[in-house]
Amino acid sequence: MKALRVELHWYDVAPDPNSSHRPSFEAENPASYDWGQYDALITEAQRLKWKILLTITSPVPRWATADHRDLVTRPDDLAFEEFMIAVGRHYGSEVSLWAIWNEPNVPGWLAPQFNANGTPASPRIYRGLFEAGYAGLTAAGLRSPKVLFGETAPFGTDAVDAGREGVEREVAPLAFLRGALCLNGAYRRSATCGTLPIYGYAHHPYTYPAVPGPYYRPANPDEVPIGALSRLSRALSLASRARAIPAHVPIYLTEYGVQTKPNPLGVSPAVQAEDEAISERLAWEDPDVAAFSQYLLRDERGSGRFAGFRTGLETASGAPKPSYYGFAVPLTVTRERSGRAAGFSLWGLVRPATGATEVRVLVEPAGAKRYRTLRVLRTDAAGYWRLRSLVRGAAWRVSWRSPSGALYTGPPIRAF
């Protein structure tokens, strides 16, 4: 299924967003807002038959924050509910999935993250926003809207030193989850909180691209990069058992990518293609994961060591990276040993396919200068395939020809 995630910034469409005083307007009326290019974008997505995940998030109008000084501190729940009524009335028929807030465990999106006593503050702030947003959508006439909870970032801490309210630190995602769902460290729910009607849990499982890359599992058990997705699956299971959320809540990985150089946290473009594919396989192997996404299509522009995200499939100038070709036909090759014979486990996906199809797997033997066909095999109905091979190679790649004749050839992939 093809889907497009759109971040709708409250500030961008609200009347007089820089004012510290709320203007006089009909907050529940869609005509009170300037939807601008959001309308054009969503209309085009509908024309292309792409499903829409609409994430409503900060920055928020200054008049809707607690101290009216910035655009992220303690947004007003009632004002947000009224805004969500307008959003639901305006886009309700065009949106398949909703999400409330982008990375609410990050201080740049929601503040404060911590109370003065050092405990997390953002989880309870977020719970109020989620409840208000859900109420707004239902008041707009949407019956049982499919609303994702979270969109959390992968790293953070569980507490900070007392006296550091608003500190520029992230709350670890599982600490955030427990706080927002009123769960203690043993996942027992407070009697003061009911069950939240969440449709799925959204997460951004970025990892550090340096060794060990996608397989990285942080020492803090409340952090969840791509290599530690089982932690989130377990937490959701325990939360469901405590009746804080419904049973069998799926995981939506709504944002993911691997940084490339010149960002100092980045890898080479060739390694990005390998790490992206490994990451997608890790997500595919988790039965709780319902969706995997790529962010960005094109690198952000900027100067300086850390300027902009470099997770794109294209450079900032539009030149394709190896991952541009790998995204259509991702491939991983894993060394394995069974008895005396060393073999290789191959996994892949033909993303453009709409059903079972044939894919050609190629291998470049060590010392050779050209690829040869290792196997032509058939994928499953979703486009996935697996293969075990004893043939040694220096690199592997795949090619697929669409019914229209277009040829897709992935980049060279090494064995790990």
Domain CATH for 209: 3.20.20
Domain match, 150 and 52 both: yes
Distance CA 332, CA 280 (A): 9
Residues 80 and 215 in one domain: yes
Which is more confidently placed, 168 or 211?
A: 168
- Tell me which of 210, 231, 255 is where a domain ends: 255
168 vs 108, more confident: 108
* Domain end position, chosen among 240, 255, 270: 255
3-class state of residue 323 by DSSP: helix
Q: Look at residue 393 and tell me if it is in a domain.
A: yes
Given a cut of 70, whether residue 196 has pLDDT beyond it is yes
Q: Which pLDDT belongs to residue 337?
A: 75
Domain boundary among 213, 235, 255: 255
* pLDDT class of 340 with cuts at 50, 70, 90: low
Verify that 36 and 150 share a domain, yes or no: yes
pLDDT at 2 exceeding the cut of 90: no
pLDDT for the residue 163: 85
pLDDT in tens, 7-34: 999 999 999 999 999 999 999 999 999 9
What pLDDT shows up at residue 110? 98
Amino acid identity for residue 369 in this structure = K
Q: Is the pLDDT of residue 121 over 90?
A: yes
* Tens-digit pLDDT profile for residues 242-281: 999 999 999 999 999 999 988 888 899 999 999 999 999 9
Q: Is the pLDDT of residue 187 over 90?
A: yes
% of the chain residues with pLDDT over 70: 97
Give pLDDT, residue 302: 78
Question: 295 CB contacts (<8 Å, ≥6 apart)?
Answer: 204, 255, 256, 257, 309, 311
pLDDT of residue 341: 67
Distance CA 386, CA 177 (A): 35
Amino acid in position 294: Q
pTM, rounded to two decimals: 0.96
Q: In what order do the strands lie in the sheet with 384-389?
A: 331-338, 341-349, 384-389
Q: Structural domain of residue 380, as residue ranges? A: 331-409
Categorise residue 44: left if φ over 0, alpha if ψ from -120 to 50, beta otherwise.
alpha
pLDDT band, very low/low/confident/very high, at 164 (cuts 50, 70, 90): confident
Position 242 in a domain: yes
3-state secondary structure of 189: strand
Report if residue 310 sits inside a domain: no
Judged by phi (left if over 0) then psi (alpha if -120 to 50, else beta), residue 363 lies in beta
Residues 201 and 56 in one domain: yes
264: in domain: no
On the question of pLDDT at 339 being above 70, the answer is: no
Q: How many domains does the chain have?
A: 2
**What are the respective helix, strand and coil percentages of the chain, to the nearest 5?**
25, 25, 50
Do 201 and 341 fall into the same domain?
no
- For the chain, the average pLDDT equals 95
